[in-house]
Chains A and B, each alone.
Chain A
Amino acid sequence: MRAPRSVLKQQFLKKWMMGLQVFGSAKQSMSILERKKAIKLSADIALAATRDGRTCWSRAIIADASKDDGGKVLVQHLLSPESERLKKACTGLVMDNKRVRCKKILKRSCCIKRIRKGASKVALAKSISKRIVKRRTQVLKSLVPGGEFMDDISLIEETLDYMVSLRAQVDVMRRSLAKATEVVNGK
């Protein structure tokens, strides 16, 4: 029986290493920032690749990464063993999101806006809390990749999955950092 969390971490690690190897030749010439970006990018793409396009945030990450050249190389490198369909799905993500947004605008225009009645304290508190919740939802949408296009419910699901993956990513990266420092110190 495989523990799902360690399986996730192993998958992520493998893909991350693969991604880093893509940078192999250019490494010496990179500045620290560039290296950091490369590391982070490969880590993010590896993380998204572990989800195989099943989740919205992973598709969003891959779609974003495919926009520029460096990311594209990585994406192809990491994803080519897997389905071509996945890549198409990610590139088609933008169109889907636009469609979602249009639908939302339509829905909002058709919805009857209820006038806020009652200066009662309860109603006031409710409206305040609603506003707070709305604002925080906006923040969360900005945090989760591809979050702007999701409705509340799927946003929470995506957040769940994203959090799990992030945690695994942090764990793997920290361990590899420990290992790397040890190797460097030991030399």
Chain B
Amino acid sequence: MLSGKPSVFLLMVNGQIESADFPEFDELYCKYSYVYGHDWAPTTGLEEGISQITSKNRDSNQCFVWNFPMEITFKSTNPFGWPQIVISVYGADLFGNDVVRGYGGVHVPTTPGRHKRTIPMFVPESSSKLQKFTSWLTGRRPEFTDPKVVAQGEGREVTRVLSQGYVTISFNIVTKDLKKLGYDSIPANQTSDNTGF
């Protein structure tokens, strides 16, 4: 049993990429990865993954279901650089080429418990109508060279995008020693009452 204050705190993320809503497209798969600051390091779990290809249901339920598990644990000394999950969705176009259908990102929730996040997905826009037509013809749509740019705040002012869908992710978050290091991330009405029975 270590005496004294711990020096790192742990963040355990269990979750799944549940489903997506893209009204105009079919047969999509997604990739996820994490972006985090210099003070953070993953200890266990997978940092990246690629899901299966899923299609819309034939009946009225017009959403895509991946049910794709994500499990990872981070350790850190500083909440700055809190991990973000970055999702890219790809699908086949009319000619069979693999094109990007959306990028999106969200911070992993900071409070322990169960959370659901529906994030919008967007693609870079073609700069002219001619470029739009040639990219449709050749299958080389505008895409980000690194999907992780979605997780950054700098350099975004020059990008023009179209938002065209949503992805729903559910998280179960557990933190360890965040409180012992002095950080308070839990809202007042959620703190447990330890007075006993």
Do A and B make up one complex? Answer: no
Chain A positions within 8 Å of B, measured between CB atoms, are none
Chain B positions within 8 Å of A, measured between CB atoms, are none
